[in-house]
A and B are shown apart, each in its own frame.
Chain A
Amino acid sequence: MSVTRRGILTAVPIIGAGVLGVGFWRMLSDMRSGAFDPRAIKNPNVGKPIPTFAMPGLPGLGDGFTDAELKAQHRPVLVNFFASWCIPCVAEMPGLRAISRNMPIWGIAYEDKPENASAFIQRDGSPYARVASDRHGRVAIDWGVTGVPESFLVAPGGRIIWHGSAALDPQIYEAEIRPRLAGL
């Protein structure tokens, strides 16, 4: 059969519709299994080493920390960006306290006045092993943070293994974080 203009005009629409249809079907089936989430925030730094930084601490909560200190840890660390002005962060605190019984959490106060951040985390007991202040959000940019709260699972040696852009709770810890700890 020879290829004619007419043949192309009639074949292209159905091929195009077919490609779109298969794509939509894949998206829908992946959405049901959780592999495809159109609202997910992907972080490009997952799988890469943590960026370089040095941050001061918060008043009354000891010194801040640097990337070298984080890399030197022998256990995986959960790094959590938070702010006292962020409502989901307030809601996240009890969940973080529960998770902190299983693994160390290091907190980074994002664009927050140090005294506000300090008062906020000490109000009901701090879940954080160490806390640092990212007063102007510069470090958060290097980490690829799009909003607070966001959390990163950092393996010994300083590689980012996992990223979460929702308020953490023990369910997420069991489903997403704990299985990843086993391999470390």
Chain B
Amino acid sequence: MFGPEQGHFALALACVLALVQFAVPLWGANRRDARLVGLAPYLAVSQLLALGYSFLCLVMCAVSDDFSVQNVAANSAVSKPLLYKITGVWGNHEGSVLLWTLILAVCGGAVSLFGRNLPDILRGRVLAILGGVSAGFQMFCLLTSDPFERVFPAPMDGQGMNPLLQDPGLAFHPPILYTGYVGFAVPFAFAVAALIEGRVDAAWGRWVRPWAVAAWCFLTCGIALGSWWSYYVLGWGGYWFWDPVENASLIPWLTGTALVHSAIVVEKREGLKIWTVLLAIATFSFSLSGTFLVRSGILNSVHAFANDPARGVFILALLAIVIGGSLALFAWRAPSLTSTGLFSPVSREGSLVLNNILLCSICAVVVTGTMYPPFMQLLAGRTISVGKPFFDAATIPLTLPLLLAMGIGTALPWKRAQLARTFSHLYAAAGIAAIGLALCFWKLSGILPIACGALAIWVIAASVSDVLRRVGIGHTSAQGVWERMKNLPRSSWGAALAHIGAGITILGLCGMSQAEHAIVEVHIGETRSLAGDDWTLLDVHDYIGPNYKAMQADIAIRHNGKLVTILHPEKRDFTTQSQTTTEVAIHTNFITDLYGVVGDRHGTGKDTTYVLRLHRNPLAPWMWLGGLVMAIGGAFSLSDRRMRIGAPKRAAARNMARA
């Protein structure tokens, strides 16, 4: 019922359905044939069902330990816990490509279900584009990375999974991140459909924005989760390494953030149309290219997928069709799109343009830094690496004005603003930011962290004061405030929350710039001090785990003689994979993380010493907390949009009922 052959067949069936989903509605839309266009949602849902079945088959193969399937034999083992048998399905190349296409099909299904109020032709074209991309990746899956490939003779047990990946954080990181990546396929399809149609208007902006916001929320969560995982699993004490694979997720996030903002301008002012269409294409193109670069082995990254240049050629051809095709269409059709809005530089839309310029500049910096090493090697034959010093020096100066503008932007009205009036709303926030600046001077060192910290406080204060002003605090009675709070659009709450989240993340980054660490070699009972805390190694003991041997240390941390906590970091030896992992111990009070790692044991008997790494990471949890708040803000604004989008149709129906 759920065997590998059924799964393989369902995958092939889904691919055929996707091809039909691509061809029929486009042809129908061209002929203005409503019946053909109307097939699109049914095709999208059947493709989703076929692919979902196929994915379920792969999961069942993994759960039932069917080692005749190459993919299961290479990545699973009988002794692996059930959770990781399931999540391990997408922990490898083949399975992750299948998950990728499944999420794309889910997007198509979602457009079919939630897009009922879209014009039929537009919905048909959007689904056709999604079907085309789907078909390409399902072919990639079938032809070069078949997850259902059999192996003969079937081994008795699998080779197991990298113990580093056996972690709940990483198990759910790929689906969330992929949902973010793939979710941008919907705005992309909307952009291409609009180019085919030759029309972009306010309604288009209103339709495309929820999809972009949803994808953006997932991508934000995915990046935060990945960063958190590297912080607490890898045990390096770092959270972001400017590694090419991390940059590959940051680049679409930056253009996606720009897209989420520029689509507002399309919706409210019918401006920035061409630019928004380009951002929608660019964001998905960067998502695709990120996927491609990681798997082709071109970039030298710590995130190793099994690299295969042959696969790389296939994806590159696919990219050439999808990205090249959409950009060619853009170059051909975009000049005919006309803009109606007139812009004053000092206005809400003016500040959104500034936001877009700065976000895209940061994006350009990250793209340059990521692509420079391989291109330098290709053109000049020199190996170089571009790392943290470059990215810090180039992105932070662009982030400062972005933060400054974030605080002012939401306070500006549309069309034309009076600066004096706007500033009068911002006095309180500016005052709080000034106090914040003093606080930063006291707590932080280095000009850039101080500036970033003060501006982050400014963003948070300005967002809070903006909401307070809108609900009329200080002007109306408590009853009136409550009424206004209920009537304030969810999107305003969402924007404020997302901006506050960004401020929290920036504060976390500033705090982490002041992190202190020490690598010490101590005997049992010895004490070392780090940044005012005394760390004592109390004891070290060995124990045997289910599939590993572990060495556990007890480290007591005292502050002014008072016990704060006892950390139990571990070092585990996984014998079957002959791999060692470190289990970091973290004590957090949400202001400071105390982070301990136990390393090697040296010597014997009384001379035994242990290498410990001790970290004091101020505000570390804020980085991920801020990401979560940003995503919640996005979700808030999404809940508003959905109601609004349904509104015209519902209102029309009500009017008809009345008549």
Contact = CB atoms under 8 A, between A and B. Distances in A.
Interface in A163-183: none
Classify the interface of chain A: helix, strand, loop or mixed.
Answer: helix
Given A11-B331, A23-B375, A28-B316, A17 B323 contact: yes
A86 to B, nearest CB: 16
Contact of B330 (A14, A18, A26, A40): A14
Contact of A13 (B278, B297, B310, B316): B278
A31 B383 contact: no
Contacts of A17: 285, 323-324, 327
A109 B482 CA distance: 77
Nearest to B382: A42
B335 A10 contact: yes
Interface string A1-16: 0001011011101100
Contacts of B298: 24, 27-28, 31, 38
Contacts of B377: 36, 38
Interface string B308-335: 0110110010011001100110110011
Interface string B379-402: 001110000000000000000000
Contacts of A62: none
B331 A10 contact: yes
B615 to A, nearest CB: 26
A16 to B, nearest CB: 9
Interface string B277-308: 01001100100010011001111100000000
A106 to B, nearest CB: 26
Interface in B350-400: 371, 374-375, 377-378, 381-383
A21 B300 CA distance: 18
Contact of B378 (A14, A36, A40, A42): A36
Contacts of A23: 374-375, 378
Given A21-B320, A28-B298, A38-B300, A14 B328 contact: yes
A21 B324 contact: yes
A30 B378 contact: yes
Residue with the highest number of chain A CB atoms closer than 10 Å, among B292, B299, B309, B334? B309
Nearest to B244: A38
A28 B282 contact: no
B217 interface: no
Contacts of B292: 24
Interface residues of A, number: 28
Nearest to B324: A17
A7 B316 CA distance: 27
A41 B324 contact: no
Interface residues of B, number: 37
B274 interface: yes
A32 interface: yes
A41 B383 contact: yes
Contacts of A9: 274-275, 278, 334
B323 A26 contact: no
Given A21-B319, A32-B309, A38-B297, A26 B378 contact: yes
A28 to B, nearest CB: 5
Interface string A32-76: 100010111110000000000000000000000000000000000
Contacts of A13: 278, 281-282, 327, 330-331
Interface in B408-441: none
Given A28-B313, A40-B383, A14 B331 contact: yes
Contacts of B285: 17
B383 A18 contact: no
Contacts of B327: 13-14, 17
A31 B309 contact: yes
A20 interface: yes
A69 B119 CA distance: 84
Contacts of B299: 38
A99 B581 CA distance: 37
B503 to A, nearest CB: 32
A32 B310 contact: yes
Contacts of A42: 381-383
Contacts of B319: 21
Contact of A14 (B316, B324, B375): B324
Given A10-B274, A13-B278, A28-B298, A38 B335 contact: no
A85 to B, nearest CB: 13
B581 to A, nearest CB: 19
B297 A31 contact: yes
Contacts of A32: 309-310
A116 to B, nearest CB: 16
B328 to A, nearest CB: 6
Interface string B63-99: 0000000000000000000000000000000000000
B366 to A, nearest CB: 14
Nearest to B371: A20
A13 B334 CA distance: 12
A7 B378 CA distance: 31
Contacts of B275: 9
A8 B296 CA distance: 31
22 contacts: A6-B334, A9-B274, A9-B275, A13-B278, A13-B281, A13-B330, A14-B331, A17-B285, A17-B323, A17-B324, A20-B289, A21-B324, A23-B378, A24-B316, A25-B316, A27-B298, A28-B312, A31-B297, A31-B298, A32-B309, A36-B378, A40-B383
Given A13-B281, A14-B331, A32-B309, 20 more contacts: A6-B335, A7-B335, A9-B275, A13-B278, A13-B330, A13-B331, A14-B328, A17-B285, A17-B323, A17-B327, A24-B293, A24-B298, A28-B296, A28-B298, A28-B313, A29-B313, A31-B297, A38-B299, A38-B374, A41-B383
Which 10 A-B pairs rank lowest in CB-CB distance, beginning with the nearest? A14-B327, A38-B300, A10-B331, A42-B383, A31-B309, A32-B309, A28-B312, A10-B334, A6-B335, A27-B298
Interface of B: 274-275, 278, 281-282, 285, 289, 292-293, 296-300, 309-310, 312-313, 316, 319-320, 323-324, 327-328, 330-331, 334-335, 371, 374-375, 377-378, 381-383
Interface of A: 4, 6-7, 9-11, 13-14, 17-18, 20-21, 23-32, 36, 38-42
